[in-house]
Amino acid sequence: MNIKKYLGPLSKDNPILVQVLGVCSALAVTAQLKPAIVMAISVTAVAALGNLIISLLRNTIPPRIRIIVQLIIVAALVILTDQILQAWFYDISKMLSVFVGLIITNCILMGRIEAFALGNKPIPSFFDGLFNGLGYGLVLAVVGFVRELLASGSVWNHKIIPDSFYAHGYMNNGLVSLPPMALILIGLLVWIQRSGSKTEKI
């Protein structure tokens, strides 16, 4: 199996930076690194499993109700994820609050199911979902890292910026902890990604 053809979502076909999907949750859950990573893992799991299940069922699904079937599968996976987080990662599930439930509305999931899983075999579909989730997660991790560092001087809840900085007048930037700065950061990432890749200009 050629793994290379699935790597697109990590950069040149990134769901957030190029397709500009899933931006809502990318703004909302990236104030700190930890919830961002957990959100990324949740979306990756749901995307990979959703693609796998739909691909397994693809020849039995009547085209007229395919969207309903896709929604049922994705919704079920999301509810399962939410329940598991509440049972085993209670603190993080509180931080993510409604955004776990809103994974259902994340366009990356339905997009990949509709565009890929319905027409491809289970294993390639699984990897397609997996790498799209990872591409999404990569952006979340970068944004979460920068925001937590600048907004609270810490990474993964560990203080990084030493007290001596604060003693000399360094201050945490409260603005970075708000969603508008996340949008600006994602904009900067889009810029960096576009200037580096050789995709055609629109």
Partner 1 sequence: MKNFSNKYIFIYITVLVIIVAVLLALASITLQPRQNENRKIESYTQILMAAGYSGNEISGRSVIKTYQQVADSVLTDNNLLVIKVKTEDGSHNYIIPLRGKGLWGPVWGYIAVAADGNTIAGAVFAHKGETPGLGAEIANPQFSDEFKGKQLFDENGEFVSIRVVKGGVANSNINPLHGVDAITGGTVTSNGVDKMLKDCLGRYKEFLKKLRQ
If one counts every other C-beta atom within 10 angstroms of the C-beta of residue 117, the result is 27
Q: Read off the tokens for 90.
A: 């209670």
User: If binding is defined by CB under 8 A, does position 62 make contact with partner 1?
Assistant: yes
Shortest Å, Cβ 197 to partner 1 = 32
Does residue 51 contact residue 129 with C-beta atoms inside 8 Å? yes
| Residue selected from 1, 3, 63, 201 as contacting partner 1 according to rule CB under 8 A | 63
Give SS3 for 195. helix
**At residue 114, what is the residue type?**
E
Give SS3 for 144. helix
Does residue 172 contact residue 67 with C-beta atoms inside 8 Å? no
* Cα separation, 172 vs 51, whole angstroms: 41
> What is the phi/psi pair of residue 18, to 5°?
-105, -45
Number of residues binding to partner 1, judged by CB under 8 A: 29
User: If binding is defined by CB under 8 A, does position 45 make contact with partner 1?
Assistant: no
Using the contact rule CB under 8 A, the part of the chain among 12-20, 36-44, 75-83, 191-199 near partner 1 is: 75-83
Q: Mark 137-176 with x for binding to partner 1 (rule: CB under 8 A) and - for no binding.
A: --------------xx-------------------x-x--
Using the contact rule CB under 8 A, the part of the chain among 57-65, 137-145, 163-171, 194-202 near partner 1 is: 57-65
Interaction site with partner 1 (CB under 8 A): 31-32, 59-65, 68-69, 72-73, 76, 79-80, 83-84, 86-88, 90, 97, 151-152, 172, 174, 177-178
